Structure 1
Amino acid sequence: MPVYPAYNEASESEYAPYLVDGTSEISGQAFLVQKNGGTVKAAGRMVTLDPVTTISSNWWKQAGRMWKYRMSLPPSEGFTSARRSVTADADGRFKFSKLPAGSYYLRTELTWDVAYHGIQGGILAAEHEVKPGETKMVMLNSL
């Protein structure tokens, strides 16, 4: 189980620049290609975007990319307030608008059940940076 340190005012204050609207955008598509060549899209899945800070970096290393701890979040008001989430469309496409420039952790879950083999897939996650006014297109397609 992840162990999160006590957070102080200085680490919580790192979220302040991310609590306002900006001029950047991250959009893309979340999917996985199966061993047989089929494609599974993240249709209807929640996609989250978390600013990279001391608190979120600790969470990312311990739990953010691990299926086992997919529900674990740090006990941080800043983390919760700054997190953005959208639901992917039928093609697994998503879009985050009005972002402040900076670095972000992008994440979603993509799983499916295979008869006699169980659950396949897992957490799709990546770190991305956007500059002021930048529109970035990304493919979220690796475990």
Structure 2
Amino acid sequence: MKIGTFAAAALAGAVMAGCQATRQPATMAFSAEEAAFINKPGNGVVTGHAFRTKPSGAVVNAAGEVVRLIPATAFTRERFANLYGKRKYIPHSAYPRDDEVDPAYARYTRTTKAESNGRFVFEKVAPGTYFLTTQVIWGDEAAFSREGGSVYDSVTLTGKETEPVQVILSGN
């Protein structure tokens, strides 16, 4: 039985290393000027629900997790393409461990916390295209591997919306 456990751990490590090795280095530099629209006044409202569905069909909400609203710039488009590929979900085991980002990037990001039911709201959002991202993780924090991961989606506000724009962050 120990051989099977060792083989499973080795396979998991190889998979994680493979996921990290396929990430492309950034070619775009972060541009504060291009991201500045996030700090402009706006009347837009973005509401959403962040969750993942377990293989059993049970829904896990992103209760208390930080939700990020990030301007869709050339830098962030490349970053999200490198992190997520063509998916809208990264398993927890494939998170980048050595991800260095320009410190200014965080200053041009808005955050809120998801409520216990996974719902969140961003108010006074300026027109523009944004990425929204959070994580939905479950399982024992001390375990070798946890389940769930990071989810994202994008949204565009034109400034002409009369109702909140709704976003589902489920990884689908």
Identify if the C-alpha distance between structure 1 residues 40 and 70 changes in structure 2 by more than 3 Å, giving closer, same or farther.
Answer: farther
In the TM superposition, what whole-angstrom CA distance separates every residue of 1:3-42 from its partner, at most 9, and x where no partner exists? Answer: 334737xx33112222222111111111112121211110
Larger displacement relative to structure 2 (54-63 or 35-44): 54-63
Q: Which amino acid aligns with 2:26?
A: Y
Higher Cα Rg, which structure: 2
Which residue does 2:8 correspond to in 1? none
Give the TM-score normalised by structure 1. Answer: 0.82
Q: Is the 8 A contact 2:70 2:131 kept in 1?
A: yes
Which residue does 2:109 correspond to in 1? 83
5+ unaligned residues in a row in structure 2: which ranges?
1-19
Report the alpha carbon displacement of residue 72 of structure 1 after superposing the two structures with TM.
2.9
Write out aligned runs for 1:120-131 (5 A). 120-131=147-158
Which residue does 2:63 correspond to in 1? 43
Report the alpha carbon displacement of residue 44 of structure 1 after superposing the two structures with TM.
0.6
Could you tell me which of 69, 90, 101 is aligned with 2:127? 101
Could you tell me which of 113, 116, 135 is aligned with 2:139? 113
5+ unaligned residues in a row in structure 1: which ranges?
none
Larger displacement relative to structure 2 (45-54 or 17-26): 17-26
Identify if the C-alpha distance between structure 1 residues 73 and 97 changes in structure 2 by more than 3 Å, giving closer, same or farther.
Answer: farther
Larger relative helix fraction: 2
RMSD: 2.6
CA distance in 2, matches of 1:25, 1:43: 20
Identify if the C-alpha distance between structure 1 residues 73 and 29 changes in structure 2 by more than 3 Å, giving closer, same or farther.
Answer: farther
Larger relative strand fraction: 1
Larger displacement relative to structure 2 (80-89 or 64-73): 64-73
Identify if the C-alpha distance between structure 1 residues 90 and 50 changes in structure 2 by more than 3 Å, giving closer, same or farther.
Answer: same
Which residue does 2:42 correspond to in 1? 22
Q: Is the 8 A contact 1:25 1:136 kept in 2?
A: yes
SS of alignment partner, residue 95 of structure 2: helix
1:62 equivalent in alignment to 2:88: no
Q: Which amino acid aligns with 1:138?
A: V
Give the TM-score normalised by structure 2. Answer: 0.70
Could you tell me which of 15, 29, 38 is aligned with 1:7? 29
Percent identical among aligned pairs is 24
CA distance in 1, matches of 2:156, 2:97: 23
SS of alignment partner, residue 69 of structure 1: coil
CA distance in 1, matches of 2:127, 2:98: 27
